[in-house]
Structure formats: C-alpha cells, structure tokens
Amino acid sequence: MEFFRFENELYYWLFALVPLLIVFYIISNVIIKKNFAKIADKGILSKIIIGKSKYKKAFRLVLVLLATSSLVVAIMNPQLGSKLEEVEREGIEIMIAIDVSNSMLAEDIKPNRLESAKQGISNLINKLYNDKIGLILFAGDSFLQLPLTTDYSAAKLLLSTVSTDLIPSQGTAIGSAIELAMESFNEESKAGKALIIITDGENHEDDALSIAKKAEEEGVTISTIGMGTEEGAPIPLFRNGQRYDFIKDRSGNTVVTKLDAAMLSQIAASANGNFIRASNSILDLKGIIDDMQKLDKEKFESKVFTDYEDRFQIFLAITLLILLIEFLMSDRENRIIKRLFTFSEKTI
C-alpha cells in the first residue's frame, strides 16, 4: 500500500543542477570582478556600482535555486493515492535476514559488505510485485525489523536505515536468524516460504546447520549470500564518520574477517536453496529470484491504492511564482534584504 509516490523517480538526478548553479554563480562573480579590476581601480569601481545591492544578488540566487528545486519536483510528479481497494494477489512469503555485525563493514566488497548487500536487496524489492516480504537483522542476537508485508516502499525505507549500530550484541548468530524467520512466517498460509540470509558466514554463536535442516523440514527454502572474499579484509573503526583505525585482537594484531563460503554453502544445500558468492559491488540475485518463483503461490487479499492524483501543478505554480518575484526585483539596494543577509552573516 503506497499512499505517496513519484511517477518519474528516475529524474531525481536533476537536483544536481542546484550545486552546479551555485558553482556557476561563484565563478561568474570572480570573472566579473577580475574584468572590472582590469579597467578601473576600487575607488572608481565603487562609484560605478553605487546603489547596486550585493545582498539582493545573493537573494536572487536563492530564489533561482528554490525555483529549480521546485521545478525538479514538478517533473518527478508527486502523486497521492486517491482510491483504496482490496485486490487479490498471488505470491510467496520472503524473509530477508541481514547480518549487521561489525565484520560487514569490511571493504573487500565496495563500498563495504553491508552497503553492497543493501543495494542488492533494494534491487530485489524493485523486482517483486505480489510477494510478501519481511526483514530480519542479526548479529549476536536477531530481531524482526519488518513483518511480512506487500508495502515495498516501507521495506525500502527501513532498509535504508540498516546499520551495524542497531544491534549492540556483536557476533554472528545465523541460527538465531533462521529460528526468528520460521516464527515470522504465517503458519496458516500455504504459500511457499523463502529465507534469504546475507552474511559473511563467520558463525560463532549457534549450530546454524542443524537449525537450517529443521527449517527445511517445515517447508522453508533457505538461500545464502556470501559477502566478502576468502582472503578477507580488516574491520574498520569509525569516529565522527571518519575511519581512524582497524579492529585489533588482544595481542594488538589487526583482525581480518574472511568469508566462510563452506558454511553458507552447507546451510543452503540443507534447505533446498542456493549459495551465491558476492564478488563485486553489484550483488546479482537473479538466480535466487528465479528459484523463488518456482515455489507454490497462494492467493490473498491486500489493500492497495489503484488510482493516484497528480500534484505536479502545485510545484509548477510555486516555480512560476518564485521566478515572477525574481523577475520583478530590481538590482537596487533594499533595506529589508540587506538586514536579512547582514543578520545571517553575523549569526554564522
């Protein structure tokens, strides 16, 4: 159920015009000043431009930036759901378990294991239509971040917030994540049930293999995605968003985290699933998606918005209004605008 959406999401890149306009403004000002300096000294120049307002020029730039941003939003066409209906769908249940232990910050896969995993999951969600999806986060413990739902927008929103800070208990308890997934599936549903585990496979907390076999007995297919390389990589430490060191053991040696491909392959094999090794920044889940489509589907009812109303007119009107204000402004100095920018400079 998606109440708000953009019809043309792909045009978000047009927001890059905003910083480009700022750069153009700065460069043009520098060029103009240099050109004036060639033909007149500062004393004469001040007499030439007397009455001109530098604050109003900056204010006009702000108006242009606001108009540009509003125009981009209009092009993307924001829409609001206007008609909510119950529709019949047919799909399976998919739980995705994401490892959020510190080892997922290793950068043997760019930009790091966790960010690459999140990008792959987002691409998977884009390809879903009728299936229910849920999210589980695990490290030393596991918790259900998103129960099974067909609200893919909510799934992507929560996915964007995933980080290694969400679970304080470190470790990698894959078995715990499998048990939580089995509890989170709808027992009364006859739909096929698939669990996708995304981790580096360094399991130290439980007997994940025996728990996976139990899941297979209950009809759950488990596929595993191995994040990392067998050569491994150090685990970075961050302070204020900047990397300052790597995790070290008690002897002072840098800890290297390596992919346990054998473990993940055994888990997948024991539950009729596939093991995929992520080898670069693009996580391709096509094989797993194709296999999931072979599972039994079940019909269910879901409330969805079937009609949407365009709202681009509002932002187009705002754009035109801002441009009109900018057009009617003169270059002469205005006391109110001068005070506004002078106050801003003092507070900064």
Q: Which two tokens stand for residue 32?
A: 């103009």
Contact partners, residue 41, CB within 8 Å, separation at least 6: none
Question: What is the chain's Cα-based Rg?
Answer: 28
pLDDT at residue 280 in the model: 67
Distance (Å, whole) CA 199 – CA 260: 9
Distance (Å, whole) CA 328 – CA 306: 43
- Domains in the chain: boundaries: 4-77+311-347, 85-302
Average pLDDT over residues 104-124: 92
Best CATH choice for the domain 85-302 from the list 3.40.1710.10, 3.40.50.410, 1.10.10.10, 1.10.1040.10 = 3.40.50.410
pLDDT at residue 292 in the model: 80
pLDDT at residue 327 in the model: 84
Average pLDDT over residues 250-270: 92
pLDDT at residue 224 in the model: 94
pLDDT at residue 106 in the model: 94
Residue 295 clears pLDDT 70, i.e. is over it? yes
pLDDT over 90, % of the chain: 48
- Quick count: other Cβ atoms within 10 Å of Cβ 68? 19
Distance (Å, whole) CA 51 – CA 272: 79
Q: Report which of 327, 101, 126, 58 is spatially closest to residue 200, judged by C-alpha positions.
A: 101
Q: Which of 51-60, 90-99, 141-150, 319-328 is the least confident region?
A: 51-60
Residue 204 clears pLDDT 90, i.e. is over it? no
Distance (Å, whole) CA 163 – CA 175: 20
pLDDT over 70, % of the chain: 81
Residues 113/228, Cβ–Cβ less than 8 Å? yes
Q: Which of 76-80, 211-215, 231-235 is the least confident region?
A: 76-80
pLDDT at residue 285 in the model: 74
Collapse the DSSP code of 241 into the 3-class scheme (helix H, G, I; strand E, B; otherwise coil) and give the result. Answer: coil
Residues 307/83, Cβ–Cβ less than 8 Å? yes
Residue 333 clears pLDDT 80, i.e. is over it? no
pLDDT digits (tens, 9 = 90+) for 178-189: 999 999 999 888
Average pLDDT over residues 64-84: 87
What Å distances lie between residue 219 and 48, 121, 137, 205, 260, CA to CA?
A: 83, 23, 22, 24, 25
Average pLDDT over residues 297-311: 71
253 exposure class (CB count in 10 Å sphere: 0-12, 13-18, 19+): exposed
pTM: 0.67
Distance (Å, whole) CA 181 – CA 93: 11
Average pLDDT over residues 111-129: 90
Mean pLDDT score of the chain, rounded to an integer? 84
Residue 266 clears pLDDT 70, i.e. is over it? yes
pLDDT at residue 85 in the model: 66
